[in-house]
Structure 1
Amino acid sequence: MRTALVLIIFCMYCSLSFAQVTQRVRGTVTDKESHVPLPGVSVSFPGLENKPGAVTDDKGQFVIDNVPVGKHAIHVSYVGYKDIDISDVLVTSGKEVLLPLELEESATKMQEVVISAKKEHINDMALVSTKTFDVQETERYAGSRSDPARMASNFAGVQGGDDSRNDIVVRGNSPQGVLWRLEDIDIPNPNHFAVPGTSGGPVSMLNSKTLGNSDFFTGAFPAEYGNSTAGVFDLKFRNGNSERYETTAQLGFLGTELAAEGPISRKSGSSFLITYRYSTLKLFEGLHIKIGTSSVPTYQDASFKLNFPLGKKANLAFFGLGGLSSVDLIVSDKTTPPDELYGESDRDQYFHSNTGVVGAAFSYIINQGTYTKIVIGETGNEIGAHHDKVFRNVNYAVDSLKSILDYTFGTTATVAHWYINKKMGAQHTLKAGLVNDLYHLDLLDSSRQYPPTRQDWQHREDFKGNTDLLQAYVQYKFRPSDALTFTAGIHGMYLTHNGSKALEPRAGIKWQPGRSNTITLGYGLHSQVQPLYQYFAHLPANAASYMHNYNVDFTRSHHIVAGYDHRFSRTVHVNTEVYYQYLFNIPVETRAGSSFSAINQGSGFDRSFPDVLQNTGTGYNYGLELTVEKSFSHGYYILFSGAVYDSKAKGNDGIYRNTDFNNHYALNVLGGYELKLGKNSTLITGAKVTYTGGRLYSPPDTAASNATGDFIVVDSLRNTLQFPAYFRTDVKLGVRINGKKVSHEIALDLVNITGQKNLLSLTYSSDAAAQGQDPFLKQYQLGFLPLFYYRLDFGFGKKK
């Protein structure tokens, strides 16, 4: 490794140019609501010495040459539209900067609009609880690991809390309530090692090199989004460079990857963008490099986008995302109990998870105020596991192995989303659409895990068939003035196999009484389908055709949000939101005295097979959030986000209890400074401190656990205990070096630099129980984890 590091540094030095290195900045500017290109827009870098700039042509395109490398602020202005300012455009020597920009028309016709706004969210119907996901932030923020989900945990009201997974807990809701959307279609869990019924995982399949800026919603989201009660991650792929071929190569702890982009036809403006990544640890294992464990996770993923402009009015694009992952957790070869446990200690586990998304999108500008788009795709995932119970003697030697679990869950979906958007002057916008997800299911599950002496197999899932989720929406925006905006909409859902249906109103108001202040208010009724495999499960004693939860209805939630934002300058603002969510129609067990609530599902690596359910449960979440942000400018940024909240749910016993995700508070403090090293190099530093309430847990029932061989809780005392508070400090150090045509970046992300031992959970060990020891073991979060990467960017081919 030392030789490789010396070679990298030598190559970087050889590529250096000590004269000022510059790069080209290109982009397009369109109307935010009609998507019509805007000619005559002024785009400039006001902070640079000679203030380089350009004016868009009749296609809304601009080109600015000879922009010095570094991070710069850009200003965009156009008569009759609101100006926008972006404070942190990164310019490097290796790749051209491509900026797709959108301007919002002034509601009242004026010669010049003086209202200026920071880069805002992409969805123009969203007024509350919306954060713009900036791709640069996944690499800028310490501890984010270039993962959009982990980056989102920096937002107020969003919490991770499990170092081994990137589950997104929004305002005390289950991660299961988060909807993932890519290129306007709903997609399955986009993470490696995904478990059915969850929305997170240990490693994301999403690659920041293909993502464009995207929206993240945490409550009362617009009417076009359905099948979610917690939040929405609406992701977009960016287009590849249509004029120049560019390549990125990266070696890092989390993956070795290659990305390429460039023109398919420079004349038509078509382009391609493709990435591929493979597990670096698996590569090291293949090279016989010791990495400290025999349970090496294997994963690989790829993504692509092909974009074809069809004249000035139409566009055709093809896109895809896919990932393969597997891991074998073997304990039967251990001669002593393991100190670090990643899985259950009494079994060998073989797990795999494969996910894919492919789609095509066609958009067409009908006239100056109307455009339409249709996206058709195919998604799928196939998840399976096999467990062998390990029986040992008193000397910890293996006596025998017994197969105790087998399952394979296959789900594919034919998905489509069509919508039409009509801008009726500067004040009125109407959008309506249809969404259809046709699911094809192939589900098999058999278990004889508990008690350990069981010999007969219990079949819990044996289904092959279809169900269809139909959705429709209409939403309207009215801006009587630049200071006041109203939105209203309605969303409908229908699930074909059991006839569940929902009609959900949404509304929002945004008022700007002055340039610096914004007040918002939003409401929404939101519904969500249960994990599909639970509809088609059956009790082991029943026939496969008798699916006891087949007719369970949607979970529903009322969201009310009020917010206030004060902007001190173009880069400094304070935002606060207060919210209340009332959840109802929650599935709970019919068993008398049960504290089970379905909203406690959706995290971790376990599936849930509940008893007979009925939609009589309720719950609530309320809280206060605060964000203080100084966005990147003058070489540094600062972000403080905090939330205090309460999250309760009621089971069939009629008692409101803490949900699994009611940590009560979460605080993040982040900052970073970039120091110029000469004209073309930059030292990158960053730090993050996270402090949250400890995870809740239930006291174990020792007798019941020993009888079944599994962790069984005292049902009446669910979530009455809490682990100590979670604390973690992350630090990032790196350097970015710009050669004449090549840029290098090498960085080290030091996760949990203090080595804090945060508790994750209690687990049950049948081996310890058999030896008369305490069978309940504490499982800890990750310790100190250093993550490195080296990235090389370069381009070739003539510029126009």
Structure 2
Amino acid sequence: MRYLGSSMFSSMGKNITFIVLLFLSITASAQRSQTLKGRVVEKESKSPLSGVTIIITDLSPVKGTATDSNGYFSITEVPVGKHNIAASYTGYTGFNAADVEVSSAKEVVMAIEMEEASVKMSEVTIATRRDHINDMALVSTKTFDVRETERYAGSRSDPARMASNFAGVQGGNDSRNDIVIRGNSPQGVLWRLEGVDIPNPNHFAIPGTSGGPVSMLNSKTLANSDFFTGAFPGEYGNAIAGVFDLKLRNGNNNRYEFTGQLGFLGTELAAEGPLSRKSGSSFLFTYRYSTLQLFEGLNIKIGTSSVPKYQDATFKLNFPMGKGNLSFFGIGGLSSIDLIVSTLTKPEPELYGESDRDQYFKSNMGILGAEYKYTINTRTYTQITVAQTEADVFTHHEKVFRDYATFRLDSMKSVLGYTFKNSSTLTHWFMNKKLSAKQTLKFGLVNNYYHMNLTDSSRQYPTSRQDWQHRSDFIGGTDLVQAYVQYKFKPSEHITINGGLHGQYLTHNGSKSLEPRIGMKWTVSETNIITAGYGLHSQMQPLYQYFAHLPQNPASVMHNYDIDFTRSHHFVVAYERPLSKVMKLRLEGYYQYLFNVPIEVRTGSSYSALNQGSSFSRDYPGVLQNKGVGYNYGIEGTIEKRMARGYYFMLTGSVFDSKAKGNDDIFRNTDFNTKYAVNLLAGYEHKLGKYSTFIAGGKITMIGGKLYSLVDTAASNAYGDVVIYDSTRNSKLLPAYFRADLKIGAKFNSKRVTHEIALDLVNVFNTKNVLSQTYSPDLAAQGQEPYYKQYQLGFLPIFYYRIDFGTGKKK
């Protein structure tokens, strides 16, 4: 792989140079321009603002316009390139957006929200860049800006991997995109789309997890969204770690625009345009199909000898209706992989599977929803979203027995099979009322009804077992009902206070919680901002665990049916200082106390539910009780310079500690207590010609080593699976994680078409990072040390070519 990497890098570099020169000659012609348009609304009430002045400040002479009676604006003949956009309106704080990219292929559509000043002035000229979309968010919030995060090297166009660059978030697992926030399990993250809670939005998803190897989410369809890392507002429930609140953008309602992309990770097609120009309705659609067979042909290791297959699609239909707006949206994905080890002639560890069995795995997920917004008056609007989801997983394992002297296949035996079908009916209704320029009230209801069909059986422990042991045999449902109220108060231009209350109730066992939330922002001066927040948060357990039964018990005796919510107190304080118009410093400290955590009843057990949710296997604990506790505390910092003058950089770092206590009454490191995480990202863009741009970006990640436990060899050999010494849980440390990524490419604007070609070099130094210390029944059967080091991905070059174009008149 090393010699292939160097030779392939050299040849690809030559090819890219040739293509750059070719496109330079093609694009050196007439003036290129595009239309910039959008809508301006009031931030709290979402009512349109007419007469807002919109100007492009970097052009000479300045180009500009004003919004019409419905808040819409359009500026034609905007030259291709990066531009600064400013909006101003009497009595409102100003808005600006720097380095908005204008290409020849697609119109730029902006959604601008302006906030009324709490102190009336003839005109408020302070221009602001929003750090969050949600009006009630004040602390531990980061805007997921698609335009910015797509620049990050090594992110594979995956929103979860992009988010892992933020302070307080750690990745460090090349095989999965789990979001580990402040030492919490990724299971504690809530995924929300268009206002409703959704299942794990990843291909090859395992029940009880929130991550996976490949995301179904397509960044080409996403609008700017909110990402929360703690003490989130009252409208979010059933999460103790963080929230990813995703929004889909609307398609262009004036022109038909298309995107085609070919790359190592998939072939993609995207289309958008008007359904009716008269009414302003539009559609947006994307489809992606994997092409990982290319890696196999180039002998590039992707972590498995098998070829994963996946495809996904996303759509949104939008229908403006006077004071209302109706939209339909959906995401669907199919994935499958056959991990075959029976054909191997020598031992070869599987990054995505176990080395002692053939595994046949398939997962499907789909979301279909409708959203209706209605502006009641200039100060009040309401919204309701209804959706249906389906998440199905199918697995079958064939245990491989060998003559270990020759590694020859001896026999095979079916040892595991499960089918999990989970459907949910989701509803979220809320009303937002702007009481005055200083006060806003929001309240709503969320209802998630889950229906399950769960079957799980095993006969692998020990491997001589002939009868099947069932762990799940359940058909039925449960309902999670949530309600919330939030209140925002601005006593002055310098102080904002948000308060909230969230409640939730789980019907099948009566678990309930009432959770206060509060946040404060104090602008001490133009260069000193202090924020603080507190929240009590609760989360139910993975659904399949409630309805599992011990193999020796009948299916009706579900030993963890009555387990309560895990709960968590969040305390956050932060300091922010703008260093310039495009650069800022942010420091944030936090303390999180977790309680009511499920732990085993078994005496001396070190098990804690805080350690589950980040693997390719489900967790079937013994009898649980809500007597566990845990804590996380730390400090994190960010220095960020937005893209300006052709470059950007972001340095994030965090130092933290994460502990959990099981029934042995000892605080131990959690699985996610790597102690520190550092990310350095930088990017550079340089014009190659009047309409062509060279793109380069780099990223360095350093994360503390993962933890592991010592294996009880005798107990593991007898049981057929890993059994650890409770006294050594997470007491051993693997080497620290280091990875460097590099991205190079170029964009070319012809008259109506934009081309982009790029090469993303993941782990450019081919660093051998240790993923885990993995138990091997094969090695145990040979009398050898029964575990081995499993390594992360090596050097991975990801190439793509993208073309954008539009049809119809620019106006």
Q: What TM bracket, shorter-length normalisation?
A: over 0.9
Q: State the alpha-carbon separation in 2 of the partners of residues 325 and 331 from structure 1.
A: 20
Quote the residue 1:320 is aligned against: 330
Deviates more, 1:666-675 or 1:512-521: 512-521
1:459 to 2:459 alignment: no
1:774 to 2:774 alignment: no
Q: State the alpha-carbon separation in 2 of the partners of residues 448 and 70 from structure 1.
A: 63
1:336 to 2:349 alignment: no
The alpha carbon displacement at 1:339 in A equals 6.0
TM-score of the aligned structures, taking structure 1 as reference length: 0.97
The alpha carbon displacement at 1:768 in A equals 2.0
Instruction: Letter of the 1:772 partner, please give it.
Output: G
1:357 to 2:370 alignment: no
Which among 214, 226, 244 is matched to residue 203 of structure 1? 214
Equivalent residue runs for 1:100-115 within 5 Å: 100-115=111-126
Q: State the alpha-carbon separation in 1 of the partners of residues 294 and 743 from structure 2.
A: 25
Which among 588, 608, 611 is matched to residue 600 of structure 1? 611
Segments of 5+ residues of structure 2 without an aligned counterpart are 1-7
Q: Secondary structure at the match of 2:148?
A: helix
Q: State the alpha-carbon separation in 1 of the partners of residues 357 and 92 from structure 2.
A: 63
Deviations 1:369-416 (A, max 9, x none): 000000001011001110000001121111111000000100000100
Instruction: Letter of the 1:141 partner, please give it.
Output: Y
TM-score of the aligned structures, taking structure 2 as reference length: 0.96
1:149 to 2:160 alignment: yes
The alpha carbon displacement at 1:137 in A equals 2.9
Quote the residue 2:4 is aligned against: none
Cα gap change, 1:257 to 1:306, in 2 (>3 Å)? same
Equivalent residue runs for 1:290-689 within 5 Å: 295-311=306-322, 313-338=323-348, 341-393=351-403, 394-689=405-700
Q: State the alpha-carbon separation in 2 of the partners of residues 593 and 536 from structure 1.
A: 25
Contact 2:34-2:810 within 8 A present in 1 as well: no
Which among 722, 730, 753 is matched to residue 742 of structure 1? 753
Q: State the alpha-carbon separation in 2 of the partners of residues 752 and 8 from structure 1.
A: 25
Contact 2:287-2:313 within 8 A present in 1 as well: yes
Equivalent residue runs for 1:21-36 within 5 Å: 21-36=32-47
Q: State the alpha-carbon separation in 2 of the partners of residues 52 and 121 from structure 1.
A: 28
Deviations 1:569-599 (A, max 9, x none): 2201100111000000000001111110001
Instruction: Letter of the 1:415 partner, please give it.
Output: L
Cα gap change, 1:405 to 1:422, in 2 (>3 Å)? same
Q: State the alpha-carbon separation in 1 of the partners of residues 478 and 175 from structure 2.
A: 33
1:220 to 2:231 alignment: yes
Q: State the alpha-carbon separation in 1 of the partners of residues 91 and 254 from structure 2.
A: 31
Cα gap change, 1:81 to 1:197, in 2 (>3 Å)? same
The alpha carbon displacement at 1:655 in A equals 0.5
Contact 1:26-1:61 within 8 A present in 2 as well: yes
Q: State the alpha-carbon separation in 1 of the partners of residues 705 and 435 from structure 2.
A: 51
Instruction: Letter of the 1:797 partner, please give it.
Output: G
1:713 to 2:724 alignment: yes
Q: State the alpha-carbon separation in 1 of the partners of residues 148 and 613 from structure 2.
A: 26
Q: Secondary structure at the match of 1:705?
A: helix
Instruction: Letter of the 2:246 partner, please give it.
Output: L
Instruction: Letter of the 1:603 partner, please give it.
Output: S
Quote the residue 1:40 is aligned against: 51
The alpha carbon displacement at 1:658 in A equals 0.5
Q: Secondary structure at the match of 2:83?
A: strand
Instruction: Letter of the 2:796 partner, please give it.
Output: L
Q: State the alpha-carbon separation in 2 of the partners of residues 68 and 785 from structure 1.
A: 37
Deviates more, 1:575-584 or 1:16-25: 16-25
The alpha carbon displacement at 1:516 in A equals 2.0
Contact 1:15-1:740 within 8 A present in 2 as well: no
Cα gap change, 1:605 to 1:434, in 2 (>3 Å)? same
Q: Secondary structure at the match of 1:140?
A: coil
Q: State the alpha-carbon separation in 2 of the partners of residues 265 and 291 from structure 1.
A: 47
Contact 1:565-1:575 within 8 A present in 2 as well: yes
Q: State the alpha-carbon separation in 2 of the partners of residues 203 and 35 from structure 1.
A: 35
Q: Secondary structure at the match of 1:33?
A: coil
RMSD between aligned residues: 1.7
Q: State the alpha-carbon separation in 2 of the partners of residues 372 and 522 from structure 1.
A: 27
Contact 1:138-1:208 within 8 A present in 2 as well: no
Which among 37, 62, 74 is matched to residue 51 of structure 1? 62
The alpha carbon displacement at 1:43 in A equals 1.7
Instruction: Letter of the 1:367 partner, please give it.
Output: N
Deviations 1:179-200 (A, max 9, x none): 0000000000000000000000
Contact 1:17-1:740 within 8 A present in 2 as well: no
Q: State the alpha-carbon separation in 1 of the partners of residues 349 and 211 from structure 2.
A: 26
Q: Secondary structure at the match of 1:706?
A: helix
Work out the number of aligned pairs and report it: 797
Moved over 6 A (4+): 1-11, 288-293
Q: State the alpha-carbon separation in 1 of the partners of residues 701 and 614 from structure 2.
A: 20
Quote the residue 1:266 is aligned against: 277
Give aligned-pair identity as a percent.
65
Instruction: Letter of the 1:338 partner, please give it.
Output: E
Cα gap change, 1:673 to 1:190, in 2 (>3 Å)? same
The alpha carbon displacement at 1:668 in A equals 0.6
Q: State the alpha-carbon separation in 2 of the partners of residues 485 and 554 from structure 1.
A: 31
Q: State the alpha-carbon separation in 1 of the partners of residues 327 and 21 from structure 2.
A: 41
